[in-house]
Structure 1
Amino acid sequence: MLLLQIQTELDTAALDTSAEAFTVWDLLLKGGYVMIPLFLLSILAVYIFVERVLTIKKASKVPEQFTDKIKNLVSVGDINSARMICSQTDSPIARMIEKGISRIGSPLKTIEASIENVGKIELYRLEKNLNLLATISGAAPMIGFLGTVTGMIQAFIAIAQEEGNVSPRLLSTGIYEAMITTAGGLAVGIIAYLGYNYLVSQVSKVVHKMEYTSIEFIDLLQEPR
């Protein structure tokens, strides 16, 4: 009995050691070839998110008292200085106002249209690659499901080829290895989905600021002098 107890304890310790050595990286490797496109999609999603965050953050920054300076210069008729300040400011708002200043003297509708056209171009730049991030959020889980289906097919083929009783270990191993791709695809998809919605909200804030500034500029041109 003593020898049996010692052997049982040794077996338990060996199982605990193997469980500790079984890392997340080992699980990812067991997911098969489907994990490769999921890994590439995750890198692409992170790259797009970081690049867009930096771009949107830069676009949202406008120097202090920028609008006030433009108002004062336009009010006194110093158009060239106002355009110079706009050209030296790297932001969508500055480029919109610069376009409007360059059209001063034209009908008000023409000025509004020119500002609106520049705004559309700036919006397109802000939303660059957002559609790709949305595609990743939808495609990654589907790729994961595809990997699970193919993995289950392979698992059942292996079970069918077994002679005699099928061991629970063989059955469970085939199933959990197939489910790894689903977990990976969902993880990538959720991250991309959250990143996409965050970026959309940040773009909306910048667009609101652009619209507010352009309205202020148009109101300035309508003020009596």
Structure 2
Amino acid sequence: MFSFIQLQADTITNAASNVVIEKIAPNTEISTLGFLLKGGVWLIPIGILLFYTFYLIIERYLFVSKASKIDTLLMRDVRDNLNSGNLDLARSIAERNNTASGNIIKEGILVIGRPIVEIESNMDRAADIEIGEMEKHLGHLGLIAGIAPTLGFIGTISGVIKIFYSISVTENISIGNISGGLYEKMISSGAGLIVGIIAYSGYHLLNGKIDNFALKIQKQILEFVNIIQRS
């Protein structure tokens, strides 16, 4: 009798286990690409902005890094040649330097013999031109920092509108229907924010690098003017 009861208990336990197993949710894993594609068509312009952002950051960083190099030996060589009265060699040294600093010093050498104020003004204008070249297209990063999150927000809003329209037509207000559609549409907002943060960070990091160069070049202009005055 006890064995019969035990057998029935084991049978019921196995049946319950099978029911639990059958009710386990199916595998819902999804690839990263598949997850992103659920964000809708608004991810296309956001993706384009992302690639353009990376291109601008890399291109501008390489350009600014090369142009903003300050050769510590340049001023020494220019000073030695200016003190010996060899202006042509001093100008050649500045030209061969092939940096923004060399171009600015060259502009100062070209107007030696004129008033100090005019020499300094000429070098300041050359510095402004070089800095302007470094800042070229940086405004695009600032624009992307504002546009990308807005595009993501628009994508989310359009998705929410579609969800509520679907509810009004089908009268299906289940949590699964709402949350499923909503999380997909919020992907575009998250993607837009990420692109905006990258563009914003790149914009300010590059501007900081340019500001650092501007400070150093002003010191070099002052040093050049002092060399001319002493000469």
TM-score of the superposed pair, with normalisation by structure 1: 0.92
- The residue that corresponds to 1:3 in the other structure is 15
Query: Cα deviations across residues 65-109 of structure 1 (Å, max 9, x unaligned)?
Result: 111111111111110100011111111110010011010111112
Shift of the alpha carbon at 1:62? 3.2
Is 1:178 matched with 2:192? no
Amino acid at match of 2:137: N
Q: 1:209 aligns with which of 203, 207, 216?
A: 216
Q: Distance in 2 between matches of 1:184 and 1:105?
A: 59
Q: Specify every segment of 5 or more residues in structure 1 that has no aligned partner in the other structure, as ranges.
A: none
Shift of the alpha carbon at 1:7? 4.1
Is 1:128 matched with 2:136? yes
Residue 97 of structure 2 aligns to a residue whose secondary structure is coil
Q: Distance in 2 between matches of 1:222 and 1:135?
A: 45
- The residue that corresponds to 2:202 in the other structure is 195
Residues 76-155 of structure 1 aligned to structure 2 (within 5 Å): 76-155=84-163
Residues 148 and 195 in structure 2, CA contact (< 8 A), matched pair in contact too: yes
Shift of the alpha carbon at 1:168? 1.7
Stretch moving more, 199-208 or 59-68: 59-68
Residue 61 of structure 1 aligns to a residue whose secondary structure is coil
Residues 38 and 187 in structure 2, CA contact (< 8 A), matched pair in contact too: yes
Shift of the alpha carbon at 1:10? 4.6
Residue 88 of structure 1 aligns to a residue whose secondary structure is helix
Query: Cα deviations across residues 121-154 of structure 1 (Å, max 9, x unaligned)?
Result: 1010011111110110011111111111111001
Q: 1:44 aligns with which of 38, 52, 62?
A: 52
Residues 59 and 206 in structure 1, CA contact (< 8 A), matched pair in contact too: no
- The residue that corresponds to 2:3 in the other structure is none
Residue 18 of structure 1 aligns to a residue whose secondary structure is coil
Q: Distance in 1 between matches of 2:80 and 2:110?
A: 16
Amino acid at match of 1:114: N
- The residue that corresponds to 2:34 in the other structure is 26
Shift of the alpha carbon at 1:207? 0.9
Is 1:168 matched with 2:175? yes
Q: Distance in 2 between matches of 1:9 and 1:211?
A: 75
Residues 108 and 120 in structure 2, CA contact (< 8 A), matched pair in contact too: yes
Q: Distance in 1 between matches of 2:65 and 2:173?
A: 58
- The residue that corresponds to 2:4 in the other structure is none
Amino acid at match of 2:143: T
Q: Distance in 1 between matches of 2:133 and 2:153?
A: 34
RMSD between aligned residues: 1.4
Q: How many residues are paired up?
A: 219
